[in-house]
Every structure is written in C-alpha cells, then in structure tokens.
Chain A
Amino acid sequence: QSALTQPPSASGSLGQSVTISCTGTSSDIGAYNYVSWYQQHPGKAPKLIISEVTKRPSGVPDRFSGSRSGNTASLTVSGLQAEDEADYYCASFAGNNNFRFGGGTKLTVL
C-alpha cells in the first residue's frame, strides 16, 4: 500500500510559521475525518500532536494546528521555537481497518 505523500523537508525561522502538507487520496484523507499528526525527535518515540484532522491533545501547544482540504491535510506550526525542530508524520485511516503513515517531513528551525 502506498504511503501518504509529505515533503521530505521544511524550514522556517524562529517565530515564523511553517506549514507541512500531507497528500493522500479519496480513499483515505479525502474520505475520513481521521487524520493525525505525530512529532518525533531524534532517538525518541513519536508523539501525538493532532488527531481527527484538527484536535489538539491536552498539553500540546496551540501553536500546532491541523486542517484539511480535499485529499490534502496540513499541519501548521506558528511562532516556531527551537524545540519544534523534529520529524513530523501524518497518518490517516484508509478504510477496511487499514491505516497509513506519510513518509515524514524533517522540520528545521533556522
């Protein structure tokens, strides 16, 4: 099964905003409100930062926000901080009890 498509890298300066895209199909992102985003620092386990397209778990700063348009979901990080430098993965329910991750985006804070 194909992974969701993310840009390999993204960057932004301290205090600025950056948006990471995640492109799927009408069978996954476009079909269900079950897109999630995960942050992974080097050598660490992924951490849930967005669920169900736009929901932020308790403890996740409101600088992180999610959205979706058609078959593409997006993660926006506002007011970039040094600790936001990490890998970010999108994921989506794909029907028939199937689940897909994106290939990941390395975010660099300049």
Chain B
Amino acid sequence: QLQLQESGPGLVKPSETLSLTCTVSGGSISSNNYYWGWIRQPPGKGLEWIGSIYYSGTTYYNPSLKSRVIISIDTSKNQFSLEVSSVTAADTAVYYCARERDYQYYMDVWGKGTTVIVSS
C-alpha cells in the first residue's frame, strides 16, 4: 500500500527558506503516469496547489508561487522535496504531499500533512 510521509522543520523564521521532504513507501516514485505534488492549507482556510514533479524532473508550479518555489526529486531515495524562499507569515500552513495521476489530474494518495509555522 502506497504511503507518503512529509518531514521537515515545524518552525521557520521570516525571510528564510522553508524546506520539506516527502518520502514515498510501498511503491516507486519512478512510476510512469504519476506526478508528485505539494499542496498547502493555511489555518482555517482552503487548499492551495503549490506544484508537481515527474520522476524525470519535469516540474509545474502554481503561477502565484512560482517565483519562490522549487520542487526537486531524488529517485534513489524515493523522495521529493519542496523549497519555498523568502517566507512570511502567510506561508504558515499544513503542507501535504500527494500523488497526482498524470493526464487525469487528480490526487489519489495523500500524506498526513505537516504543520509549518513562520515566526521569529
């Protein structure tokens, strides 16, 4: 059974870079037909798609976040990662990683999420 698990610091200072990793178990991150994505949810608010990556390294980003976001992948470790630079309090959120079905555009497996607070 495929499982995803987010990990990373729960507290980040303003203006610094937020870094998270998603570890995939029970399946290969190099599978055809799937992208691997990041989604976030600010406290009490809705979901926001951040971006996605294919095992080949092809990436797609939310235009509103593109200038500050980098998603990378390490197929040897079965992991993919998120970096958000120049963070502010508005980046405080629960961050989820998820598997996205290519060409069908839905997220069918989600991690449990990790809370990141931006504060000095």
Residues on A lying within 8 angstroms of B by beta carbon are: 1, 3, 32, 34, 36, 38, 44-48, 51-52, 57, 89, 91-93, 97-104
A102 near B112 with CB under 8 A, answer: no
What separation, in Å, do the CA atoms of A100 and B60 have in the docked complex? 13
- B36 in the interface, Cβ–Cβ < 8 Å? no
CB-defined contacts of A44 to chain B, threshold 8 Å: 112
What separation, in Å, do the CA atoms of A47 and B99 have in the docked complex? 12
B104 near A101 with CB under 8 A, answer: no
Task: Given contacts A51-B108, A52-B106, A91-B49, list 14 more A-B pairs with CB under 8 A.
Answer: A1-B62, A32-B105, A34-B105, A45-B112, A46-B110, A48-B106, A51-B101, A51-B104, A51-B106, A91-B47, A91-B106, A93-B105, A97-B60, A98-B62
CB-defined contacts of B34 to chain A, threshold 8 Å: none
A101 near B112 with CB under 8 A, answer: no
B63 near A98 with CB under 8 A, answer: yes
Nearest-neighbour CB distance to chain B for A56, whole angstroms, equals 12
- B83 in the interface, Cβ–Cβ < 8 Å? no
Residue pairs across A and B with Cβ atoms less than 8 A apart, 24 shown, are A1-B64, A32-B105, A34-B105, A34-B106, A38-B107, A45-B110, A45-B111, A46-B39, A46-B47, A48-B107, A51-B104, A52-B104, A91-B106, A97-B52, A97-B60, A98-B63, A99-B62, A99-B105, A100-B49, A101-B39, A101-B46, A102-B46, A103-B46, A104-B46
- B80 in the interface, Cβ–Cβ < 8 Å? no
What separation, in Å, do the CA atoms of A36 and B111 have in the docked complex? 18
- B16 in the interface, Cβ–Cβ < 8 Å? no
With A98-B60, A98-B63: A34-B104 Cβ-Cβ less than 8 Å: yes
A99 near B108 with CB under 8 A, answer: no
- B55 in the interface, Cβ–Cβ < 8 Å? no
